[in-house]
Structures are given as structure tokens and as C-alpha cells.
Amino acid sequence: MKAELKIGIVGIVSILLLIWGISFLKGNDILVKSNNYYSIYKNIDGLEPSAPVRINGLTVGNVTDIYFHPNNSGDIIVKITLNEDFKLPRNSISKIYNADIMGTKAVKIIYGNSNLFCSAGDTLISEIENGLKDEVNKQVLPLKNKAEELISSIDSVMTVITTVLDNDARESLSSSLRSLNRTFSTMELAMIKLDSVIYKNDLRVTTIIKNVESITTNLHNNNEMISVILKNFESITDSLAKSNIKSTMNNLDKSLATFDNVFDKIENGEGTMGMLLNDKAMYNNLNSASRQLDLLIEDIKKNPKRYLTFSLIGGRKTSFEFKKDTTN
């Protein structure tokens, strides 16, 4: 009887250990107090029971059950079990995400900021984080669409070109493209030559740049003086604008007209200056008088005694008769 009792006790303990082990492997620890919460998803993206539930990277529970909603809507209810010590704010979020690079799914709880806390059995807000495949598809899909649109546009353009352009037009287009290619080649050679010239005259170019910098520096340093000069110039232009330039120009025109009249009279032989310049006889008489005056001065220099006489006692003065010039 005692042996049978021992066997019965061992069997019961073994069954209990088996139940506990199975429950533990499923993520349920019957020895720890816990609370159950629920989340409703349209798609759980491969989430499995016993998947870990983490808060800020720390495992605080696991997924204990997954089943369809009893209202036959196709929604899926995920039951998660958390340690009783964790209190969740009402606006906390239960999000399915990729736990590793292989795409293993897990649940993370994003703490809310509500002052009210969930009770055991409440339903949490549910979200699904995009996986690597979803992110790649999200980035690649717009590029794919644009590529398809571009290919379609190119195909349409080529169809139009093939339909509209005849053989001569195509040949002309090909010739234009070849000419454009030669032009680019010529420009490339020109740029190479220009680089060579700049390299050979690098010192001169550097000197020119330094001179330009020096000029700009001087202009900057003498900015105040230049401003004063410009103000003075502006003052002069204002003074000229305010002065009676028109009256001055009219007086100048009148003076020039008077000079023109005087010169016309001189040219016509009117007046003393006109007669002097235009009367040949008067000119000859003045010329003859000038020569006689020269002869007189020369004779005075040679024979001063003829014109200056000194008598101590009853001296007689002598006189000099100037002979008239008959050469003219």
C-alpha cells in the first residue's frame, strides 16, 4: 500500500511538472502573478504565441494566445501576459515589430503619458511597425513608378520621332548631333589650351589679382575721401545747375559775333587796323620809316659826335642833316 501511494504521488508530481514545463515553454509562468491584456489587429504579420513582450528592451511578459475575434470580422485578438508589477497607462500602445534581422516578430509596449492606468483584461491600442521589406518597398515603389513613367515617355517620344521624321530628317538630325559632338570636342581643346595659357602665365595672373586686390583695398580705405569728393562734385553740379548758364552762353555768343564783325571789317580794310593790313602803300611807308629809323640809330652809334657837341669857349654847334632814303 505504501509503494502504491508513493507511485501515485510521484505520478501526480510528474504530471504537475509536465504541465508547468509546457506552460513555461509557452511563456506562461504559473508560479508568477500576472495580468492579461488584449490587442486587436487586422494582421499580425507572423506573430507567434510565446513571443516576448518588451518595454524599452526589457522582457516583461509574453504572448500567451492568438485567436480570431468572435464577431467574425476577421480581426485577430492577441492576448499578452505581463508581470503584475507593471502598471500601464491608458494610452499605452501595443506594437508588433521585428525583433531581429531575420524578421522574428515580438511585441513592444510604448508607455503612454496618461494619469489613468489600465486594469487587467483591458484592450490596448494596437499598431504594427513596418518591417525591412515594407521599408524597402516604400522606398523603391516610387522609384519604380517613376522609372515606368520615364520608360513610357521615352517610348512615346521614340514612336513620335519614328512616325514623323523621314529618312532625310533622321540623317539631318544625326548630322546635327555629330556637329554638336565636334563642337564639344573643339570646346574641350580650347579649354585645355586656356588651362595651359593660364598655367604659363600663372605669375602674371597672380600679380594682376594682387593689383586688383590692392586697388579694391585702397578704394575701401579711402572710402570716406571718395565720398567727400563725390559730395563736392555734387555740390559743384548743383551750383552749375542753379547758375544762369543760358544767359552766360548768350553773352558769349554775342561777344563772338562782335569779334566776327570786327575781323570782317579788318579783312575788308575798314578802320586803322584794316588799312594797315590791307593798304600796301601805307605798309611800304611804314616799312621805309622803319628802315630810316634803323639807319639813324646805327649812325648815332657810329658817330655820336655828330649829334652831341661840346664847346668850352664860344664853340659852334654843328648839325647833321639826315639824307632822305630814295631806295623805295
For residues 290 and 326, give the distance between their C-alpha atoms in angstroms, rounded to a whole number. 14
Quickly state the pLDDT bin for 229 (edges 50, 70, 90). Answer: confident
Phi, psi of 156, rounded to the nearest 5 degrees: -65, -45
State the angle between helix axes of 271-278 and 245-267 in degrees (0 to 180), rounded to the nearest 10: 50
Q: Strands 58-68, 123-128: parallel, antiparallel or unpaired by DSSP?
A: unpaired
% pLDDT > 70, the chain: 73
Q: Convert the pLDDT of each residue in 206-215 to its tens digit.
A: 788 888 888 8
Is pLDDT above 50 for 270? yes
Q: End-to-end CA distance of the chain, in Å?
A: 194
pTM here is 0.37
Q: What is the sign, positive or negative, of the torsion defined by CA atoms of 200, 204, 209, 212?
A: negative
Supply the Cα-derived Rg of the chain in whole angstroms: 62
Instruction: Give whichever of 71-80, 168-177, 318-327 has the largest mean pLDDT.
Output: 71-80
CB-based burial of residue 122 (10 Å sphere; 0-12 exposed, 13-18 middle, 19+ buried)?
middle
Is pLDDT above 70 for 131? no
Specify the pLDDT at position 148: 82
Quickly state the pLDDT bin for 132 (edges 50, 70, 90). Answer: low
Specify the pLDDT at position 41: 92
**Is residue 54 a contact partner of residue 60, using CB atoms and an 8 Å limit?**
yes
Q: Convert the pLDDT of each residue in 55-78 to its tens digit.
A: 888 888 888 889 999 888 889 999
For residues 307 and 282, give the distance between their C-alpha atoms in angstroms, rounded to a whole number. 30
Quickly state the pLDDT bin for 319 (edges 50, 70, 90). Answer: very low
Residues whose CB falls within 8 Å of the CB of residue 36, separated by 6 or more in sequence, listed in order: 64, 79, 80, 81, 120, 121
Which strand (E) or helix (H) includes residue 63?
strand 58-68
**Is residue 80 a contact partner of residue 53, using CB atoms and an 8 Å limit?**
yes
Is pLDDT above 60 for 320? no
Higher pLDDT, 23 or 182: 182
Specify the pLDDT at position 79: 92
Higher pLDDT, 182 or 241: 182
